[in-house]
Amino acid sequence: GNSVTQMEGPVTLSEEAFLTINCTYTATGYPSLFWYVQYPGEGLQLLLKATKADDKGSNKGFEATYRKETTSFHLEKGSVQVSDSAVYFCALTAGGTSYGKLTFGQGTILTVHP
Amino acid sequence: GAGVSQSPSNKVTEKGKDVELRCDPISGHTALYWYRQSLGQGLEFLIYFQGNSAPDKSGLPSDRFSAERTGGSVSTLTIQRTQQEDSAVYLCASSPSGGTTYEQYFGPGTRLTVT
């Protein structure tokens, strides 16, 4: 079946530090990959996505590259801000009869201190 | 434009009671999904609607759970004879279509507490 594994959290960083959150996946067919973010008190929202191998998704200074050879989609940001504190979820939708349903990783809590 | 809305935002119910959770998707979105977010299980898929039909109900955890969608719009998730393990945040999402590359837009969720 399909599954997503994220690095364990919580992650605590100082402002302007470099961020990496690891994500690897197992999927049938050819998945699309997503990072969703949940800010405190808010709903889930899409941060970025990539739909084919070697695609790079980017948004708000965050980037992730679809690596088919390593089945990974690691999230990176060069300089985090306090406002980036949130829960980050890696997710995929797989082909076949998945109908676009999302399979999520367990989430990584990020806290950024001034 | 208006996003996905859900009601109620919070629901506290006694064990054994039935509850109904409502989702209003973004207008024109044909695909609608229900997910559940709980401490022990993370984010889990429950059911998918395309229009008014539900081709994928594989995530419903038991026959106490059911859902319908009418007019290709509003959806209701019903939990009968609630149990404490049903306590979770129930999220609804919609997307323009059921394809694998479309972004899903999430509602704020309904927090269900079963006492």
CA dihedral (A78, A9, A98, B96) in degrees, to 10, reads -50
**Residue A97's pLDDT is what?**
63
The string of DSSP codes covering A10-31 is -EEEETT--EEE-EEEE-SS--
Tens digits of pLDDT across chain A (114 residues): 889 999 888 999 999 999 999 999 999 878 999 999 999 888 899 999 999 999 999 999 999 999 999 999 999 999 999 999 999 999 998 866 667 889 999 999 999 999
Hey, which residues 9-68 in chain A have their CB within 8 Å of chain B?
31-32, 34, 36, 42-46, 49, 51
Q: Please count the residue pairs, one from chain A and one from chain B, whose beta carbons lie less than 8 angstroms apart.
A: 68
In three-state form (DSSP H/G/I as H, E/B as E, the rest C), the secondary structure along chain B is: CCCCEEECCEEEECCCCCEEEEEECCCCCCEEEEEEEECCCEEEEEEEEECCEEEECCCCCCCCEEEEECCCCCEEEEECCCCHHHCEEEEEEEECCCCCCCCCEECCCEEEEEC
Q: Say whether residue B51 is in contact with chain A using an 8 A CB cutoff.
A: no
Whole-angstrom Cα distance, residue B73 to residue B75?
7
Looking at chain B, the whole-number percentage of residues with pLDDT higher than 70 is 99
Tens-place pLDDT, residues B21-58: 999 999 999 999 999 999 877 899 999 999 888 888 98
Encoded tokens for A94: 């797989």
Give B-chain residues touching A103 at CB under 8 angstroms: 45
* Kind plus residue range of the DSSP H or E element containing A35: strand A32-38
**Under a CB-based contact definition with an 8 Å cutoff, are residues B64 and B113 in contact?**
no
B100 to A43: CB separation less than 8 angstroms, yes or no: no
* Cβ-nearest to B109 among A43, A46, A49: A43
Give B-chain residues touching A98 at CB under 8 angstroms: 56, 100
Q: Say whether residue A2 is in contact with chain B using an 8 A CB cutoff.
A: no
